[in-house]
Amino acid sequence: MRISVVTAVRNGAESLPDMLDSLRGQTHQAFEHVVQDGCSTDGTLACLQADGLPQMRLQSCADDGIYDAINKGIRRATGEVIGLLHADDRLASPDVLARVDAAFADPSVDGVYGDLQYMARDDPARVIRHWKAGDFVAANLRRGWMPPHPTLYLRRSVFDRAGLYDTSYRISGDYDGMLRFLTTGRVRLAYIPHVMVQMKMGGISNRSFAHLVRKSREDYRAIRRHGIGGIGTLVAKNVSKLGQFRGP
């Protein structure tokens, strides 16, 4: 099965090599790497041109934020299955795409996801947070549960019927998208009990207090928009993260 791995990046030259190495080492090589660059100025393009994979399809142009860039990449993707892998992320083991491919051998499966680890930015070998997702139970959406978005792979048909990411969200477009896929989109998910992605701590949603406030507002907007709960769902969503953190 051909898999499209979409990378939306802007000024990610420092972390790109590790991400590219994790793709290069995959045992399942029937994939394309769709890179959507947002006019980087830090050497990202030079890094991609020098070290990009043979199956890379690169485009560099202005965009209206991360979700617009992701949408551009998805539109350019040609695979039957589409997943995301950003510059600060890496596939956790060489068999990740092989596991994705095997899960989609079941024609009833619309999407797959797995576990996620957050790594210390100053020590890529140290796990700060371990997100063990568990099986999908629809009722748990009201309790703040969601699949780890960086591990999510969906059939192209999901985007065809449920739409792309809503660019009016600046931070929580992934959460809004997942709720839409799982409610009105009626996506049938399969859980891969395996760490699929490792990502560096320090993403846009927790860069500052103002970002945290905006993220909470956008999360609440998505919760209400898709009718899965209210303020209690938002609180549960945040409280559920506490048990994922590990000590030094």
pLDDT for the residue numbered 124: 85
Note down the domain range covering 23: 3-244
pLDDT for the residue numbered 209: 82
What residues are paired with 230 via a beta bridge?
Answer: none
Task: Tell me the percentage of the chain whose pLDDT exceeds 70.
Answer: 97
pLDDT band at 208 (very low <50, low <70, confident <90, very high): confident
What CATH number is given to the structural domain containing 15?
A: 3.90.550.10
Q: Find the mean pLDDT for residues 84-88.
A: 96
Residues 47-57 pLDDT 10s: 999 999 999 99
Q: Find the mean pLDDT for residues 63-79.
A: 98
Task: Flag whether pLDDT at 205 surpasses 70.
Answer: no
pLDDT for the residue numbered 207: 56
pLDDT for the residue numbered 204: 55
pLDDT band at 229 (very low <50, low <70, confident <90, very high): very high
Sorted by sequence, the CB contacts under 8 Å of residue 171 that are 6+ apart come out as 204, 205, 211, 214, 215, 218
Number of domains in the chain: 1
User: What's the pTM value of the predicted model, to 2 decimals?
Assistant: 0.95
Task: Flag whether pLDDT at 71 surpasses 80.
Answer: yes
Which ranges of the chain does DSSP label H, i.e. alpha helix?
A: 16-24, 44-51, 66-76, 96-103, 156-162, 173-182, 209-225, 231-239
Mean of pLDDT over the chain: 95
